[in-house]
Structure 1
């Protein structure tokens, strides 16, 4: 048991909006009460501003180790598909201990960048020769160990991956570490559930990788294995994928999924970059969350999400760090808005309503959509985990700001350099902008990378 704690903030973004002189009482990691207009007491830990931590709804933690390794010009049609071949070569070299070290580094950086929960879309399951470990969930256990070491909240999404392309094509050599049949995947999920059992407020879901990697006959049983947990799937990330889906089924990927699967608010459609306006509106009506990863989508040259028809139909979105080439919650939000501005040649587009702050719209949208996608409540409200970040209000880009103007300054000017502290379940994991275990985690990470890349 942990001792009750209390925090006092001059300003805090609560579930009900901005409030002044806020006291948060925390008991056993949960917010027991919020008081507005409260005078600070000697027992309170005092800070200027508190924000709810962001959910990172889509991560492949192991890819942190290859950040920057795919930035050499390839063939004339260099694209996601050529990047994928580099990823296959990198993943061939990683064992469970390596994965723990790499994932811990990624999770440390996520916490420093304002993310307090991660959705780990985890498809690296087997040994380097493609055979299952004696414990099928050994690599999931490595992810759980990294989450425990860093302190980040974990929504674990083991991936079902069985095929190389639409129509059940046989997997290639580079995919051998990912492959399961439905029965083997069910066993893996049981092991993953056990691996998560000691983590506070961990969530287990499932992730059918994509319509390329899962047949219609497999999709239903895999989704059923989620129980009441979240279901995530990559979809419509590249135009080549759309063309191949049309050739296979006569329908575009999002259209096919909505027509053939019980897509609802438990689903997260990751990327969904290439949709018609009709698909975007239909996806919004389904309740599914759009899992947007602007930094990775830009890095891979995927394209820009059609936000206007999706948001006009009431769609929800969250953001994720995906390939972890750069881990920064504020940068994901900034690039999401800037991508829309470049595509539409306009400004303040995600906010939509006149007079609304773009920073506030982006933060609240990513908070609400990300929490739904990851199956865990978020926000500074009684009963929720005490997951929050504090800001350095001496930062020059936050000078004189109040309320939503703080979020505009944070997202569009200061970025992560203004994040001073991060708390998980009321316990500090970041102080002075640095994770409390950064040095030990980074040292182990450097050793693993020297081995893997050597």
Structure 2
């Protein structure tokens, strides 16, 4: 067994910053954490700055990265943005998606992200023939994460209808959504069952939304996830139009509908959870259903500010995601959740820096089904990231305020090192496996436009 030792100049150990920490790694896990190491032990790899557990991006649509800047022209709403998104989705093949996702996941690694939850609904590659495998698109994402050196939870998504039609059924998918659909939840489950876990990949499930999965088929998806003890995610009350349609058809909110069909629970995460009633908040908290906030996307799409603080007080664990990748920066997502709440309430200090880092690390990994990740302690997965404390953004504060510096001043550009399963994926700000990430992104996006 090969043992690798990393010397952390400063380490965030859940509650405080500790100087001089030696971490031993064997077979991808931390085997020893030794404090009081004033200098790097012989043979140790020094990581200078503040080392934190690897960041977990709990909600991603990798292909949305191709929309960056393009969708900033003009005005509109979520629904007009969606039409542009459909155009990009229509051009994806397993090859083009692999190239784009590989570059996007490499960009995540550069930002200190060691695990991603990919909310995957662009199924059924076009053309048949060589793409006869109905999981070719999902397998491309799993391979892309491996090439970029990060972990992935593929949240294979049931997407069966375009809107709520009535209490018993949904409207047929439109022309853009046809490839998203398996027809029925049973057919979705059969296809998803062919996907397998691996060392770097976990298979989870997702319900796109109550508008995309008719009420009578929600339990099929929930039971599939429960039988595998897999994470289950769902877009929830992102738009008021969704709430209005649900009330008109079912006489209740989307949260109540999900509760009635067995979807809520500690393995489930509601994404956005923006437009909720007090009863919705109580239902989510009382069932320990998680909440994934995506502040940079929620403000980019003019969705609104969700009641994150109230949800956490009620018992809903918080995680964070970059969603549409307006930016890929989990430190910004953590900061934005606090600052958005300050704007909404006109008071400060809803979360400590430590609490925000836990949402971005341990609680995010838990939402993705990666047990034993998100902490720097013996037995944990050896996934961590180092944030510079001497950049123009982070220089000045005392190292003991490293958590506050990371959350409220640093950006993804300040990440110097990223380690996944004990292997250094980012070294001195450069990706080891994808040497020129910017070129890879440009080429992949250009291929989709041609």
TM-score by shorter chain over 0.5 = yes
Counterpart-to-counterpart distance in 1, 2:446 and 2:162: 31
1:186 to partner: Cα distance: 2.7
Counterpart-to-counterpart distance in 2, 1:410 and 1:190: 40
**Contact residue 410 and residue 416 of structure 1 kept, 8 A:** no
Local SS of the residue matching 1:47: strand
- Alignment of 1:43 with 2:43, yes or no, is yes
Counterpart-to-counterpart distance in 1, 2:222 and 2:249: 22
Moved more, 338-347 or 407-416: 407-416
- Alignment of 1:189 with 2:192, yes or no, is yes
Counterpart-to-counterpart distance in 1, 2:149 and 2:68: 23
Counterpart-to-counterpart distance in 2, 1:336 and 1:284: 18
TM-score (norm 2): 0.92
Counterpart-to-counterpart distance in 1, 2:340 and 2:400: 22
Counterpart-to-counterpart distance in 1, 2:200 and 2:194: 17
* Number of the residue aligned with 2:406: 410
Counterpart-to-counterpart distance in 2, 1:56 and 1:452: 24
* Number of the residue aligned with 2:141: 143
* Number of the residue aligned with 2:220: 221
Residues 22 and 386 of structure 1, relative CA distance in 2, 3 Å threshold: same
**Contact residue 360 and residue 404 of structure 1 kept, 8 A:** no
Residues 190 and 314 of structure 1, relative CA distance in 2, 3 Å threshold: closer
* Number of the residue aligned with 1:392: 388
Counterpart-to-counterpart distance in 2, 1:231 and 1:50: 30
Local SS of the residue matching 1:405: helix
Residues 13 and 444 of structure 1, relative CA distance in 2, 3 Å threshold: closer
- Alignment of 1:365 with 2:366, yes or no, is no
**Contact residue 6 and residue 23 of structure 1 kept, 8 A:** yes
Local SS of the residue matching 2:386: strand
1:345 to partner: Cα distance: 1.2
- Alignment of 1:155 with 2:157, yes or no, is no
Local SS of the residue matching 2:304: coil
Measured against aligned partners, the alpha-carbon deviations of 1:146-185 in whole angstroms (never above 9, x if no partner) come to 1011001111111111111123211111101100123432
* Number of the residue aligned with 2:207: 208
* Number of the residue aligned with 2:248: 247
Q: Which residue, 166, 179, 182 being the options, matches 2:181?
A: 179
1:36 to partner: Cα distance: 2.1
**Contact residue 229 and residue 375 of structure 1 kept, 8 A:** yes
Residues 440 and 394 of structure 1, relative CA distance in 2, 3 Å threshold: closer
Local SS of the residue matching 2:274: coil
* Number of the residue aligned with 1:287: 288
Local SS of the residue matching 1:229: coil
**Contact residue 291 and residue 318 of structure 1 kept, 8 A:** yes
Local SS of the residue matching 1:398: coil
* Number of the residue aligned with 1:354: none
* Number of the residue aligned with 1:95: 93
**Contact residue 284 and residue 316 of structure 2 kept, 8 A:** yes
**Contact residue 12 and residue 20 of structure 1 kept, 8 A:** yes
1:285 to partner: Cα distance: 1.9
Counterpart-to-counterpart distance in 2, 1:375 and 1:326: 24
**Contact residue 107 and residue 437 of structure 2 kept, 8 A:** no
Residues 446 and 390 of structure 1, relative CA distance in 2, 3 Å threshold: same
Residues 313 and 131 of structure 1, relative CA distance in 2, 3 Å threshold: farther
1:219 to partner: Cα distance: 1.2
**Contact residue 47 and residue 417 of structure 2 kept, 8 A:** no
Counterpart-to-counterpart distance in 2, 1:204 and 1:398: 37
1:309 to partner: Cα distance: 2.0
Counterpart-to-counterpart distance in 1, 2:257 and 2:99: 39
* Number of the residue aligned with 1:122: 120
Q: Which runs of 5+ in 1 are unaligned?
A: 352-357
**Contact residue 163 and residue 170 of structure 1 kept, 8 A:** yes
1:403 to partner: Cα distance: 5.8
- Alignment of 1:447 with 2:449, yes or no, is no
TM-align CA RMSD: 2.1
Counterpart-to-counterpart distance in 2, 1:230 and 1:132: 31
**Contact residue 106 and residue 324 of structure 1 kept, 8 A:** no
Local SS of the residue matching 1:390: strand
**Contact residue 136 and residue 187 of structure 1 kept, 8 A:** no
Counterpart-to-counterpart distance in 2, 1:30 and 1:98: 34
**Contact residue 125 and residue 132 of structure 1 kept, 8 A:** no
* Number of the residue aligned with 1:307: 308
Residues 122 and 221 of structure 1, relative CA distance in 2, 3 Å threshold: same
